[in-house]
Structure 1
Amino acid sequence: MRWKAFDYLSTAVIFISANALILLVCFTGWQVWGRYVLNDTPTWTEKAALLLILFVTLPMAAVGLRENFHLGIGYLVELLPVRLQRWCEIFNAFVLGGFGMMMIFGSWPLVKGTWGRDIPLIGLPQGLQYAPLMLSGALITAFMLERIWFAIKTTETDEKS
């Protein structure tokens, strides 16, 4: 079971990340073309590509946690009885949610402290380099709250049966 709003959010993150990845490939292609064909390397493409990598990988890692295809080692947990598996899932979600909260609160001073400076060559606020950490932390926290909610509901339903 899942919350429909988080399904839409997850789909939006995938869509935005896919388009950012296409843009990343275009920037990198333009850099190679400029360097080897035009003999005039565009200087902004490397900084823009590095920024896009952050906006692709970090939010997608959060979606990966929600979909259970990122950082999953379930072999030992699968050997446990079903009831203990659920409690391990809840504990795991609490740990990951706490990590997401630390990402939010740890990256906020970085975003705030560097927002007034520009990234050289592209002129965007330097705080954008740390904003994906906050975004990813918020997504991880929200997705883990969803997981905890449904794991507890499922556990309660199983105990009543």
Structure 2
Amino acid sequence: RPVAIFRQAGLDMRFRILDHLTHAIAFLGGLAMVGLVAITGWQVWGRYVLNDTPTWAERLALLLILIVALPLAAVGLRENFHLGIGFFVEAFPKRVQRVVGIVNTILLGLFGLAMAVYSWQLVLGTWNRNIPLLGIPQAFQYIPLVVCGVLIVIFMAERLWFQLRFPHHQPDGKSE
């Protein structure tokens, strides 16, 4: 992030909060990954050494995969370490690239909003049903979708603001 531009605009603190949120999500994703490895290890140990597979382990591992992957996908959008094809866009003039970037940001924000809203409906609709073997509401498997959608909206709002406020700088800090 181009910190000098943020300081010049008096906005350093606002973006630091989102930076801290990003780091917290990455940290929690790392903890969930450690839990995932431990649970999978326990499942393998139980199956092949004890001849008694823990029935809850696979279901909990699937839930942890959602907890790891979805919020980190939103972080990937913010930090631009997601997969993308820039070949076609880079062939256009800079002005067209800027417009395409803004449209892309708006579409991603709308996608995040739809993801959050419709996933929240799934959470509400499945709260009274339990996940077999775990005994927790099925809604817990949809909460990471809601979190991911909300984060995408926040991060794309940040990116859109940046694109409109500083048209000659890209979100990754590069200048034209």
Normalised TM-score (structure 2):
0.85
Q: Which has the higher mean CA deviation after the structures are superposed, 127-136 or 148-157?
A: 148-157
Indicate whether 1:13 and 2:8 are aligned.
Answer: no
Distance in 1, matches of 2:91 and 2:166, equals 19
Q: Specify the alignment match of 1:150 in structure 2.
A: 162
Distance in 2, matches of 1:80 and 1:151, equals 17
Q: Specify the alignment match of 2:172 in structure 1.
A: none
Distance in 2, matches of 1:49 and 1:73, equals 32
Distance in 2, matches of 1:4 and 1:89, equals 23
Q: Specify the alignment match of 1:139 in structure 2.
A: 151
Q: How does 1:11-50 map to 2 (within 5 A)?
A: 11-50=23-62
Unpaired segments of 5 or more residues in structure 2? 7-14, 170-176
Instruction: Note the C-alpha offset of 1:71.
Output: 3.2
Q: Specify the alignment match of 1:57 in structure 2.
A: 69
Instruction: Note the C-alpha offset of 1:156.
Output: 7.9
Distance in 1, matches of 2:52 and 2:62, equals 20
Instruction: Note the C-alpha offset of 1:5.
Output: 1.2
Identity between Structure 1 and Structure 2 (%)? 56
Which one scores higher on RCO, CA 8 angstroms, separation ≥ 6?
1
Calculate the aligned-residue CA RMSD, in Å. 1.5
Instruction: Note the C-alpha offset of 1:39.
Output: 0.6
Instruction: Note the C-alpha offset of 1:21.
Output: 0.5
Normalised TM-score (structure 1):
0.92
